[in-house]
A and B are shown apart, each in its own frame.
Chain A
Amino acid sequence: MTYIPHSPKERDEMLKTVGVEKMSDLFDAIPEAHRYPDLDLPDALTEMEAAAELSELAQANETTKGLVSFLGAGVYNHYIPAAINHILLRGEFYTAYTPYQPEISQGTLQAIFEYQSLIANLTGMDVANASHYDGATAVAEAVNMAVAQFRGKRKKVVMSTGVHPQYRATTDTYTQFADVEFVSEEASRNTSEALIPLIDKNTALVLVQYPDFFGRICDYTKLGEAAHEAGALFCVVANPTALGMLKTPGEMGADMVVGEGQPLGISMSYGGPYLGFFTTRNKFVRKMAGRLVGESVDARGQRAFVLTLTPREQHIKRERATSNICSNQGLLALAAGVYMSLLGQTGMKHVAELCYHKAHYAAEKIAEIPGFSLTFDAKFFHEFVVTCPKPVAEINAHLLEHGILGGYDLGQDYPEMTDQMLVAVTEMNSKEEIDALVAVLSEVNHD
């Protein structure tokens, strides 16, 4: 076998040292009736054959390189600078374990410390952890953290319907056996105004998204104040690209800012692996689940970094831990760190503005097509909702015939929105592509 380096002679010497005759003697503890079962799997491929088979499977997919994509809904087609992949492919990073031995893991530790710093600065918060699995689980952990903060004395979470439907579904799964009640406003209304009356003394957390799932942006400062007046915590789910230009949730008074880090230089990869970022205020840092890297010194007087506050975690606290998380998305945190370092303040702002201008151009042009209109008149960032003259599925099938991946069909999650399409535009979409989208949509009414 390619990855098993033993020669037959070495294997026999080792068996002898162990004191057994043959391999199967090592497995006497396994019930005989169930030992060495047949495995109905295809025979082994060589590397050359495997490469060909995987290549064939890959080619059976239509990609955003071949198609023109206006699909977003939480995952965005952004440009990924070449340097990122070259760093990720360094075996010193990707084949290392969790940095539990700081003397020989300073590469990972300092990279995570820098990631924490970049995320905290981007969101306008004090401190970020080393990451969660994805945006959805980061939201669920934020709910857990708020409930734990009040030690179960507050049982209500006010969660906007403008939060990603899959994040809400994930949170429901996480909390199904907890004594927590979720309340939401009706969709399609002014989020802040609609949510404030729902907040009371039993509210542990108020949670909104920015831009929300429909792409809308508004200032949540008043909402945050209302939450704090009632003694509740305030959490904002943010898109990191938007924070390249928009006022931070930190400035709006958020106690936690969480979200999906995929737009920060991570490939779409059919849904993962991505990165859930999680930030909070200093005073809540011990309530935050997940790994944290802190600065310290080593025995040689050098500045060095180390995993800290580990007693909060499951391997020490066991059944008293508020979360069972033990990994982070280490390699993807590295990718996000390299992305933000390469772009810097100029690049992050530039990408955000490109998305903004292109999305507004697209929205303006689509709204001019007879039968199409913008559903909301709210400000938006790089995604917007279009009311269509026909069911979205029908329109998308037509777009696909022209090599265009249409927007997200909101009817899948919001039953009253069957004719509403969520269109995403990023720096990757040229004017030509947007014009092509508009041209094909214009044909829809003539079919």
Chain B
Amino acid sequence: MNIPSNLKYTKSDEWVDLESGKIGLTDYAQDQLSDIVFVEALVDADDDIDVGDGISEVESVKASAEVYAPVGGKVVATNEDLADTPEIINSDPYGAGWLVQIEVSSQSDELMDAAAYEKYCADRD
């Protein structure tokens, strides 16, 4: 399983890049969801959001997941490519499959680094 070391992670399987402010779903999450067929952003650019707010809704053939903000701040952009090609979350969860970008002004105090997240995932299996 791919867990890049430059990102921070949450227990609900989101990643956040504190430098760019991009948020997405982890490799573990996309694998659990399997074929993703639909993504909807629950926020718009310029919205102010808090840690824990729902920011996206992701649907696969069998499951549905709400993505919660690991950081707070102003929404810069949502990934519009996902409307037509939601499956890029499966193929490139840390790259083209990002969900929302935020100008980070606060962060959850429960964020994990890559090593901690790897252990967290291993304990669940």
Contact = CB atoms under 8 A, between A and B. Distances in A.
B64 A320 contact: yes
B42 interface: yes
Interface stretch (A177-185, A265-273, A311-319): A311-319
Contacts of B66: 320
A222 interface: no
Nearest to A151: B42
Interface string A119-154: 000000000000000000000000000000001000
Interface string A80-97: 000000000000000000
B interface secondary structure, majority:
strand
A89 B20 CA distance: 63
Given A311-B59, A312-B59, A317 B38 contact: no
B23 to A, nearest CB: 18
Interface in B10-66: 38, 40, 42, 59-64, 66
B39 to A, nearest CB: 11
A295 to B, nearest CB: 15
A92 B50 CA distance: 53
A148 to B, nearest CB: 11
A414 B115 CA distance: 69
A6 interface: no
A378 to B, nearest CB: 41
Contacts of A309: 59
A201 interface: no
A431 interface: no
B106 to A, nearest CB: 22
A379 interface: no
B42 A311 contact: no
A35 interface: no
A286 B40 CA distance: 10
B48 to A, nearest CB: 14
A312 B64 contact: yes
Nearest to A320: B66
A317 B66 CA distance: 9
Contacts of B61: 311
Interface string A204-234: 0000000000000000000000000000000
A311 B36 CA distance: 11
Contacts of A151: 42
Contacts of B38: 286
B42 A317 contact: no
A interface secondary structure, majority:
helix
A316 B63 CA distance: 6
Nearest to A316: B64
Interface string A294-326: 000000000000000111100011001000000
A447 to B, nearest CB: 65
A203 B21 CA distance: 34
Contacts of A310: 62
Contacts of B63: 311, 316
A320 B54 CA distance: 11
Nearest to A321: B64
A151 B53 CA distance: 13
A151 B63 CA distance: 21
Contacts of A316: 62-64
Contacts of A317: 64
Contacts of B42: 151
Contacts of B59: 286, 309, 311-312
Contacts of A311: 59-64
A317 B60 CA distance: 12
Nearest to B33: A311
A286 B60 CA distance: 12
A311 B66 CA distance: 12
A286 B61 CA distance: 13
B57 to A, nearest CB: 8
A338 B68 CA distance: 46
Contacts of A320: 64, 66
Contacts of B60: 311
B75 to A, nearest CB: 14
A317 B63 CA distance: 8
Interface in A306-358: 309-312, 316-317, 320
Interface in A242-270: none
Contacts of B64: 311-312, 316-317, 320
Interface-centre pick from A286, A309, A311, A316 (highest chain B CB count, 10 A):
A311
A343 B63 CA distance: 40
A286 B42 CA distance: 14
A313 to B, nearest CB: 9
Interface of B: 38, 40, 42, 59-64, 66
The 8 closest A-B pairs by CB, nearest first: A311-B64, A311-B59, A317-B64, A316-B64, A311-B63, A320-B66, A316-B63, A286-B38
7 contacts: A286-B38, A286-B40, A311-B59, A311-B62, A311-B63, A316-B62, A317-B64
Interface of A: 151, 286, 309-312, 316-317, 320
Given A311-B62, A316-B64, 12 more contacts: A286-B40, A309-B59, A310-B62, A311-B59, A311-B60, A311-B61, A311-B63, A312-B59, A312-B64, A316-B62, A320-B64, A320-B66
